[in-house]
Amino acid sequence: MIVASPKPVTELKEIVAAHDKILFVGCGTCVTVCLAGGEREVGIYSYAMRMARRLAGRPIDIEQVTIERQCENEFIKDLAPAVERNQAVLSFACGAGVQALAERFLNRPVYAALNTQFLGILEDQAVWTEKCLGCGDCMLAQFGGICPVTRCAKRLLNGPCGGSTEECCEIDKDRPCAWQVIYKRLKGIGQLDRLEQIVPPKDWRPAWHGGARKIIRQEHRV
Amino acid sequence: MTAAHTQPGASAANKGAWEPEIIAFCCNYCAYAAADLAGAQRMQYPPNVRVVHSPCTGKIEMEHILAALEKGIDGVLVAGCLEGGCHFIEGNLRAKHRVEHIRGILDEIGIGADRLRMVNLSAAMAPTFVERVREIVDTVTNLGPNPLKESAQQGVVSK
């Protein structure tokens, strides 16, 4: 899922400083699961924003709504009357959701309330870790399901660097060396021979390096 | 409670007329029983505190505390079991993290973290409950009224 984290209240206060009536829109998908932009977070930040603005002598009227997904027009379209009633929109979605709102509601400013971070998993209660870079050319089959492109700080594809110590990455002693994890994993599934294959330099063209990507699946087009 | 209210920004001169309003969210298994015991033992403590009975401090949502402060309450006490003694194992530890998070928000927006405090005690610790109540009443009295009190009383609050 997409993992995000909320911006500080002071930053949000600056962002909406020009408005007195604003719509806070939560998203019911990824950012609800990662406790950053769901219905509850919208409620908490509404309280904080109202109090901050009243203390500043300029009260703000906040309307709250949380939709199932902000990244799909099918769910966004029902927001139109609420958007119309307000001067601006503060979106608690990932960057994709914020842009989806901005592209649909052309006559209202749409601001981001979250910092979108990465594609990751819930590692432990309230702990998320990055697992996928979205490079567009998945190599997980070669590495026992562990991604060196994401989890190796140097994105090495042919074994660890000389800096890893005690099974940890040299840039952070709390971070496991991706190549140690790959080795253990391949050993566990009896595929250590995969490490004897030299992996050529990765083709980064399917990744972001070619600009924003687009996928068209003809079999599902109407 | 019969506390009189002054306007926000009350000066030291009229501070005497103002009495702080405190909400104490009390866990059923410790603080609420301790407050009950304090009453049974005829222990005296400031009447500024209104006790809200909660099944566990882990059940107290951040929104509850923020709503109380937005509506003009001067201080909030969250009273839970001793660490390691939660009836639901870790409810009080969850509450501790939530309270710390809200204290950060309160500092950020200018209300001040000191208006919110979490304490830990057992059902037998009635004197400790009384002491903690006195402490937060003293702290909030020194801080003065919640600056949001005036507009809250004028019905500006939307929720």
How far is it, in rounded angstroms, from Cα B116 to Cα B129?
A: 16
Shared domain for A108 and A6, answered yes or no, is yes
Q: Which residue of A has its CA nearest to B151?
A: A54
Say whether pLDDT at A139 is over 70.
yes
Interatomic CA distance for residues B20 and B17, integer angstroms: 10
Distance of alpha carbon A102 from alpha carbon A91, whole angstroms: 10
Specify the 3-state DSSP secondary structure of B128. helix
Enumerate residues 1 to 20 of chain A having a beta carbon within 8 A of any beta carbon in chain B. Answer: 8-10, 13
ipTM: 0.85
Sheet containing A127-132: order of strands:
A2-6, A114-124, A127-132
Strands (DSSP E) contained in A100-171 are 110-112, 114-124, 127-132, 168-169
> Is A103 found in the same domain as A165?
no
Q: How confident is the model at residue B151 (pLDDT cuts 50, 70, 90)?
A: low
Alpha-carbon gap, residue B107 to B99, rounded angstroms: 12
- Tell me whether residues B110 and A55 touch, CB distance under 8 A: yes
The answer to whether A187 faces chain B, any CB pair under 8 Å, is no
- 């005829």: which residue's tokens? B42
**Whether residue A152 is found in the same domain as residue A66:** no
Are both A162 and A105 inside the same structural domain?
no
Asked if the structure places residue A93 within a domain, the reply is yes
Cα–Cα distance for residue pair B121/A10, rounded to 1 Å? 35
DSSP A201: P
Look at residue A154 and tell me whether its pLDDT is greater than 70: yes
Residue A124 lies in a domain: no
End-to-end C-alpha distance for chain B, whole angstroms: 23
- Which of A7-21, A42-56, A83-97, A158-172 has the weakest average pLDDT? A158-172
Tokens, residue A144: 């026992």
Residues A8 and A114 in one domain: yes
Residues A38 and A114 in one domain: yes
Across all residues in chain B, what is the average pLDDT?
88
A51 and B151 within 8 Å at the Cβ level: the answer is: no
Q: Are residues A114 and A12 in the same domain?
A: yes
- For residue B12, the model assigns a pLDDT of 45
Q: Within a domain: residue A126? A: no
A93, A118, A143 — which closes off a domain?
Answer: A118
Residue count of chain A, please give it: 222
Laid out side by side, the sheet with A88-92 consists of: A61-67, A21-27, A88-92, A110-112
| A46-67: average pLDDT | 97
Are A106 and A178 in the same domain?
no
Length in residues, chain B: 159
pLDDT in tens, B84-120: 999 999 999 999 999 999 999 999 999 999 999 999 9
Most B CBs within 10 Å: which of A23, A39, A50, A125, as the mutation test of the B interface? A50
B51, β-bridge pairs = B24
Would you say residue A217 lies in a domain?
A: no
Cβ–Cβ contact B63 with A under 8 A: yes
What are the φ/ψ torsions at residue A90 (nearest 5 degrees)? -110, 110
Residues A100 and A153 grouped into a single domain:
no
A58 lies within 8 A of chain B by CB: no
- pLDDT-derived band of residue B8, with 50, 70 and 90 as boundaries? very low
With beta carbons less than 8 A apart as the criterion, state whether A156 and A162 touch. Answer: no
Higher pLDDT, B150 or B6: B150
Chain B contact for A95, CB < 8 A?
A: no
Specify the number of domains making up chain A.
2
The verdict on A83 and A19 lying in the same domain is yes
User: pLDDT tens-digit profile of B34-92?
Assistant: 999 999 999 999 999 999 999 999 999 999 999 999 999 999 999 999 999 999 999 99
Per the prediction, chain A carries an average pLDDT of 95
Residue A33 and residue A103 in one domain: yes
A62 touches chain B (CB under 8 A): yes
Last residue of a domain, one of A63, A83, A118: A118
Q: Which residue of B has its CA nearest to A14?
A: B109
Residues A144, A76 share a domain: no
Structure tokens at A199: 């992996």
Taking the C-alpha atoms of residue A2 and residue A34, their distance in angstroms, rounded to an integer, is 8
Q: How far is A9 from chain B (nearest CA, A)?
A: 7
Is residue B4 scored above 60 in pLDDT?
A: no
The rounded distance, in Å, linking the Cα atoms of A119 and A104 is 25
Domain presence at residue A146: yes
Element (H, E) at A83: helix A80-85
The answer for residues whose C-beta is within 8 angstroms of residue B135's C-beta and 6 or more apart is B117
Which residues in chain A are closer than 8 Å to B76, comparing Cβ atoms? none
Interatomic CA distance for residues A163 and A23, integer angstroms: 49
Query: Cα torsion at A43, A49, A54, A59 (round to 10°)?
Result: -80
Domains defined along chain B, listed by start: 20-144 (3.40.50.960)
CA A80/CA A94 separation, integer angstroms: 20
Note down the domain range covering A198. 135-209
A222 versus B28: the higher-pLDDT residue is B28
Q: Tell me, what's the pLDDT at B7?
A: 42
